[in-house]
Structure 1
Amino acid sequence: MNDTIFALSTAAGVAGVAVFRISGPQAGNTIEALAGVRPVPRMARLLSLRDPVDSAEIDRALVLWFPAPQSFTGEDVVELHVHGGRSVVAGVVKALSAMSGLRAAEAGEFTRRAFDNGKLDLSEVEGLADLISAETEAQRRQALRQMDGALSNLSESWKQRLLRILAHIEAVIDFPDEDLPESVAVRLQQDVSKMIAELARYLDDEGVGERLRDGLALAIVGAPNAGKSSLLNVLAKRDAAIVSEMAGTTRDVVEVHLDLDGYPMTLADTAGLRDLRGDGQAAIEAEGIRRARARAAAADMKIAVFDLNDWPRLDPATLDLVDASTIVVLNKRDMIDLLPDLAQVRAGPLRAAREVLAISARDASGMTDLISVLRSRAQELLTGAGEAPVITRSRHRTAFEDCLASLRRAQMANVADDPELLAEDLRLAMRALGRIAGRVDVEDLLDVVFRDFCIGK
């Protein structure tokens, strides 16, 4: 924390503008050495940057000066907005590296300093990380709410309520000769019960925040040559998977990330399902089929692809995977003269499916209906996502679950007979909530959180 650090905060490569950050006690002296002047705080100024060693001009740059503590890191901070050519960037790095007391920042070190200096709590840090990696509008909205402190504020409000309850319990412990009015004891138990109900409802969210952050998982399953890879390519709008009439072409899971009207989705093209008994040379394909079944079991939704050329026969291995999370696609409608009655199909062996559609991955007919169904399903699964506050990571869920478990133990204790046990469970519940913002028991998590950041963040 006594070092002054610097880094290129924009992506490497040729660009119109490149931004350098400098943070630490030597930041002000650094800009004076480069530009000969320390600008007015928080006002951009166009200055000539020169190498302190030989006074050679490096670039003309917009310079911003943020004195501590009114900065992102809480330290003295300088930003250099230079032209994004490789030579300019290299010149700035060379000049900064040669200065005494400066060193290149490690990954996430700027944000780590912001956390250590109380500018961000841990959930806000995670919101910033999610914002940097957001690929869709819905992910961006959710990350912004968390970065603005929505989750921290919720956990803090519950923590303050627990603190008020604990104050009454501590009074019982400190003054054992004073009888606690029965009405107060009843009210304390009611308050604990109310918090238990609120936490239980909050945790019963079907993982909507985590789903939005990570993206919905969609598995495409079916027999060999049913058209799974072709369907994946149409949805991805590029040749992401190899298409061949040879059975077993797809032997591993091929993933493609999509932005479906702001909802993130990961499509997985899986190996064709077929019976390999007696085929001693198909060990690799058998592993691909095993992975296909595992991916289907873990997916948020599935597309089961059947070949209309085989109608009315349905591949039994694929049919076995059809359930309420499955969208059935009858593919190759362009290759047959008469489509089956989909209403009758829905009432027959495919009645367990969520939807049954006839499409052609070759000419894209019926794809509009399929995309509409996928969009509708995504909206249902992510209802409430992006609404502040939501749980976005497993560590948040674990902390809330630990809090709930402690409160349930507290609910079983008697205020008059076991005030110490009740107080301890309330303290444990408060500590669990404190982990959300990173105020207690998180030292082992910090390196994991910050190492996921880029250099310069």
Structure 2
Amino acid sequence: MRSTDTIFALSSGGLPSGVAVIRLSGPASGTAVEALCGRQPPERRASLLSIRNRNGEKLDDGLVLVFPGPNSFSGEDCAELQIHGGRATVKAVLAELATMEGLRAAEAGEFSRRAFLNGRMDLVEVEGLADLIVAETEMQRRLAAEQSSGGLSKLYDSWAKRLTHARAMIEAELDFADEDDVPGSVASAIWQDMQTLKQEILNHLSGVRAGEIVRDGLKVVIVGPPNAGKSSLLNHLARRDVAIVTEIPGTTRDVLHVDLDLDGFAVRLYDTAGLRETDDLVEQEGIRRTQRSMAEAHLVLLLSAVDNPDWAAFIEGYDGPVVRVRTKADMRDTAWPAPNADVMISVRTGDGIAELLDRVGSYLPDLDQGSALALPTRHRHADNLAAACAHIEAALAVGDRGLDIQAEHLRLAGQALGRVTGRVDVENLLDVIFSEFCIGK
């Protein structure tokens, strides 16, 4: 991957479409536009131009824009061709670009990678942009917008500045202790602030689970014995036939899932194999996958169609939150609600479904409209923030035994924060992060 290349790609998604946007970035962007259109339009102004191949054959008419660097998305000279979104038309324009010297098709995430390398975005903003593109619920959109706009980066940068200030004061005392204008001790001011900073990071880390749920969805696993109504419930909530439903036990052999939008949050429901003793090797594998899904769940819906089941027997070894659901309530003359269940439902009549969804909703994060969406959303965020916190704590624990040791711990804390935003030591992260992007972004 050579940053001197000019790259191009379809950036507007699947075809056919009403409009397709082809993006270029690199030093030959303007030259490529001139070759296709006969001239370059004025900077940052959309111009309707004919797009032709090298033989003069007209490929399409479209809006053409050029964005000189460094004030562009990638920080380089950029251009966009907004053309009709037919497959043949887009294919012809891309093929013509591929014949030009110095141009090549972009790799996944390469436009955003160049924006990072040119200082247009940091890693947190890049990751927020990736999440914004794939956001499907309102809360996912809000969380991604907070990160892609730099809200979270500003918080981390403010912490990094406080660490830098603390180190500067320590270095001043170490190097200029005999000077009259250097404080005799940094303990009262600096270490009080570092104690506060440590607590702020710990408070921030307490939002890791909430950030994970907002970004990836609340993972809800439906378990229970065969014929308890697990697949029927999944189909009812999905409003389509996702799972096969029969009276034959053991129909579900693999883990199926559907995604719901509940109060703006993503909720991922998993239908699993019925829990029972069996000699069927395929069904045994399905049960093993059920148990693995339970271990990764945020919430388990434990279903039973019989009165007074042994609930604990079905979830042995699982110690997370459970909602006990009595199913097929319309098929039996029984008390409502069942005395040993949290909720009773009937997918045939719809009774109890709203109450069940309310129960599930109670396990979603309680977020307000303010700064609550400044949340860490990835394991690498949490790991580096925890490392920064540990180094600050180590510096505080040193006490009077050595300012130089304390300064080193604060330097390491700053490095850990820098790895979150990409300020330092990030080369090994780039391929992983940008591989999440689609071509053209």
Q: TM-score, normalised by structure 2?
A: 0.94
> For the Cα contact (< 8 Å) 2:173–2:185, is it kept in 1?
no
Change (3 A) 1:161 1:322: closer
The answer to whether 1:286 aligns with 2:284 is yes
Give the 5 Å matches for 1:364-443. Answer: 364-380=350-366, 387-415=372-400, 417-443=401-427
Deviation at 1:275, TM superposition (A): 2.9
The answer to whether 1:300 aligns with 2:285 is no
Q: Give the one of 16, 20, 23 matched to 2:22.
A: 20
Give the 5 Å matches for 1:317-396. Answer: 317-318=313-314, 320=316, 325-342=321-338, 344-345=339-340, 356-380=342-366, 387-396=372-381
Change (3 A) 1:364 1:61: same
SS state at 2:364 partner: helix
Change (3 A) 1:206 1:453: closer
Partner Cα distance (1:436, 1:83) in 2: 40
Q: Can you list the C-alpha shifts for 1:270-293, whole angstroms capped at 9, x where unaligned?
A: 1111234xxxx3233223222212
> For the Cα contact (< 8 Å) 2:229–2:327, is it kept in 1?
yes
> For the Cα contact (< 8 Å) 1:150–1:388, is it kept in 2?
no
> For the Cα contact (< 8 Å) 2:337–2:344, is it kept in 1?
no
Partner Cα distance (2:250, 2:295) in 1: 21
**Aligned equivalent of 2:438:** 454
Q: Give the one of 239, 242, 247 matched to 2:241.
A: 239
Q: Give the one of 308, 311, 322 matched to 2:307.
A: 311
> For the Cα contact (< 8 Å) 2:132–2:141, is it kept in 1?
yes
**Aligned equivalent of 2:195:** 193
> For the Cα contact (< 8 Å) 1:107–1:451, is it kept in 2?
yes
Deviation at 1:312, TM superposition (A): 3.3
Give the 5 Å matches for 1:67-106. Answer: 67-106=68-107
> For the Cα contact (< 8 Å) 1:128–1:147, is it kept in 2?
yes
Partner Cα distance (1:286, 1:216) in 2: 26
SS state at 1:207 partner: helix
Counting matched residue pairs gives 438
Instruction: Give the counterpart letter for 2:262 in structure 1.
Output: L
**Aligned equivalent of 1:161:** 162
Q: Runs of 5+ in structure 2 lacking a partner?
A: none
> For the Cα contact (< 8 Å) 1:121–1:438, is it kept in 2?
yes
Partner Cα distance (1:396, 1:385) in 2: 21
**Aligned equivalent of 1:49:** 51
Change (3 A) 1:386 1:58: farther
Partner Cα distance (1:317, 1:291) in 2: 17
Deviation at 1:173, TM superposition (A): 1.8
Q: Can you list the C-alpha shifts for 1:155-182, whole angstroms capped at 9, x where unaligned?
A: 1101111111111110122135469756
Q: Can you list the C-alpha shifts for 1:174-222, whole angstroms capped at 9, x where unaligned?
A: 1354697566322222122111121122212252112211111000011
Give the 5 Å matches for 1:116-265. Answer: 116-177=117-178, 184-265=186-267
Change (3 A) 1:28 1:185: same
Deviation at 1:388, TM superposition (A): 3.6
Change (3 A) 1:200 1:425: same
**Aligned equivalent of 2:275:** 273
Q: Can you list the C-alpha shifts for 1:116-157, whole angstroms capped at 9, x where unaligned?
A: 111111111000111111111110110011001112111110
> For the Cα contact (< 8 Å) 2:208–2:375, is it kept in 1?
no
Q: Runs of 5+ in structure 1 lacking a partner?
A: 351-355
SS state at 1:413 partner: helix
> For the Cα contact (< 8 Å) 2:108–2:440, is it kept in 1?
yes
Q: Can you list the C-alpha shifts for 1:20-74, whole angstroms capped at 9, x where unaligned?
A: 00111111111111111211111111111111x2101111101111111111011
Report the RMSD for the aligned CA atoms in angstroms. Answer: 2.1
Q: Can you list the C-alpha shifts for 1:4-32, whole angstroms capped at 9, x where unaligned?
A: 11111122321111100011111111111
Partner Cα distance (1:17, 1:451) in 2: 26
Instruction: Give the counterpart letter for 2:291 in structure 1.
Output: R
Q: Can you list the C-alpha shifts for 1:344-400, whole angstroms capped at 9, x where unaligned?
A: 43xxxx5xxxxx1111123322222222332333244x6789834110111111111
Deviates more, 1:386-395 or 1:114-123: 386-395
Deviates more, 1:322-331 or 1:163-172: 322-331
Deviation at 1:314, TM superposition (A): 4.2
Deviation at 1:245, TM superposition (A): 1.3
Q: TM-score, normalised by structure 1?
A: 0.91
Instruction: Give the counterpart letter for 2:326 in structure 1.
Output: L
Partner Cα distance (2:232, 2:31) in 1: 60
Deviation at 1:98, TM superposition (A): 1.5
Instruction: Give the counterpart letter for 1:250 in structure 2.
Output: T
**Aligned equivalent of 1:65:** 66
> For the Cα contact (< 8 Å) 1:141–1:386, is it kept in 2?
no
SS state at 1:339 partner: coil
Percent identity over the alignment is 48
Partner Cα distance (1:184, 1:91) in 2: 67
Deviates more, 1:253-262 or 1:14-23: 253-262
